[in-house]
Amino acid sequence: GAKWTYSGPYGEQSWSRSFPFCGGAFQSPIDFQTPILRYDPALSPIEVKNYNLPPSEQLTMSNNGHSVKLSLPSSMHISSMPYRYSASQLHLHWGSSSLLEGSEHTINGKQFPAELHIVHFNSDKYSNISVALDKSDGLAVLGILIEVGNFNPAFDRFLKYLNGVKFKDQKVQIAAFNIRELLPDGLHEYYRYDGSLTTPPCYPSVLWTVFKNPVTVSRQQFLSLATSLYSSSSQESAPEPLNRNFRKTQLADNRVILVSFQQ
Ligand SMILES: NS(=O)(=O)c1c(F)c(F)c(S(=O)(=O)CCO)c(N[C@H]2CCCc3ccccc32)c1F
Ligand SMILES: [Zn+2]
């Protein structure tokens, strides 16, 4: 597809030229501002199934030039939503060694150092994610905000392989692990809204669930994520660091953000 980046001439202000939905409605991410939040007691705790993958299983970790992503088996799924949403991949967004602000969603204007996304598709209605990608009930993404603090052994399960995917299109196989450990302890407090992919093609097809409570990684783990990767391929002459790969917050328009918790 058409080239797009997070800065320069192909940056987000230009995305809508090649990807019209990026200039459309229901775009993500957004800033969770108190005045547009509404408590919804019907929002039940998120329930995930088969997230505890056996270490005998292998996952493909890759650098696609936009993020580092981990392929996930479709046996992993969210069971607490009206439809079953099966896992497809997880990836991250982060700042840089000099910018500890790289999350996509923000809370009352506070941007976190990084954000983890676990992408799922509606496997009750669609046979695979490619078919589900542009359907209004096609995708569900879990967003986990990341703060710098204590060392996180779960994140190290894949961060320790970053040097194997330094350049675009590099892949490595890694031992699977319990993906549940990447999530915050409580899955009952979250923001919920209808939004979009935060990268081209920006389809408004995502039911977003962003947990209220961030997880922590150590400063060293954050710096490893923020400084190990390049968006350019190994053959290219000028290596382009892969960092600050987050989209700016979009207008909420008249969308209401539901929250499962009361202030
Ligand atoms: N923030 S976000 O909206 O969740 C989000 C990203 F930020 C992100 F970088 C990716 S990407 O790594 O695939 C690089 C961009 O194509 C995705 N992938 C999705 C949408 C694109 C096509 C596709 C095909 C199969 C599986 C997943 C996806 C993404 F959904
Ligand atoms: Zn994402």
The vertex-253 CA angle with 136 and 189, nearest 5°, equals 70
In a 3-state reduction of DSSP, which class is residue 32? strand
Predicted-complex ipTM score: 0.98
pLDDT above 90 for 57: yes
Burial 105-128 (b: 16+ CB within 10 A, else e): bbbeeebbbbbbbbbbbbbeebee
Mean pLDDT of 121-148: 98
Higher-confidence residue of 126 and 1: namely: 126
- What CA–CA distance (Å, rounded) separates 233 from 139? 30
**Number of C-beta neighbours around residue 243 at 10 A:** 23
Pocket lining: 224 vs ligand 1, CB cutoff 6 Å: no
Percentage of the chain surpassing pLDDT 70? 100
CA distance 67 to 210: 19
Ligand 1 centroid to Cα of residue 33, in Å, is 25
If DSSP codes are grouped into helix, strand and coil, which group holds residue 67? coil
Locate 85 and state its tokens: 């949403």
Please state, in angstroms and rounded to a whole number, the distance separating the CA atoms of residues 133 and 122: 9
pTM summary value? 0.98
pLDDT tens per residue, range 68-94: 999 999 999 999 999 999 999 999 999
Ligand nearest to the CA of 198: 1
Q: pLDDT confidence of 11, banded at 50, 70, 90?
A: very high
Identify whether the C-beta of residue 20 lies closer than 8 Å to the C-beta of residue 201: no
Q: How far apart are CA 21 and CA 145, in angstroms?
A: 25
Furthest C-alpha separation in the chain: 55
> How do residues 12-38 score in pLDDT, each as one tens digit?
999 999 999 999 999 999 999 999 999
Question: What is the rounded average pLDDT for all residues in the chain?
Answer: 97
pLDDT at 211: 99
> What pLDDT digit, counting tens, does each position of 203-253 carry?
999 999 999 999 999 999 999 999 999 999 998 889 999 999 999 999 998
Both structure tokens of 26: 């229901």
Q: How far is the CA of 242 from the centre of ligand 2 (A)?
A: 14
- 66 as an active site residue: the answer is yes
Beta pairing, strands 139-148 & 215-217: parallel
Ligand 2 centroid to 110 CA: how many Å?
18
Q: According to the model, what pLDDT value does residue 124 have? A: 98
| DSSP per-residue letters across 113-147 | SEEEEEEEEETTT-SSHHHHTTSTTSEEEEEEEEE
pLDDT value for 62: 98
CA 136 to chain centre: 18
For residue 263, is pLDDT > 80?
no
**Ligand 1 closest atom vs CA 117:** 4
Show Cβ contacts of residue 61 under 8 Å, excluding neighbours closer than 6 positions: 68, 69, 70, 71, 158, 161, 164, 165, 171, 172, 173, 174
Do the Cβ atoms of 113 and 222 come closer than 8 Å?
yes
Q: How far apart are CA 220 and CA 165, in angstroms?
A: 18
Bridge partners (DSSP) listed for residue 239: none
- Asked whether 69 lines ligand 1 (CB < 6 A), one says yes
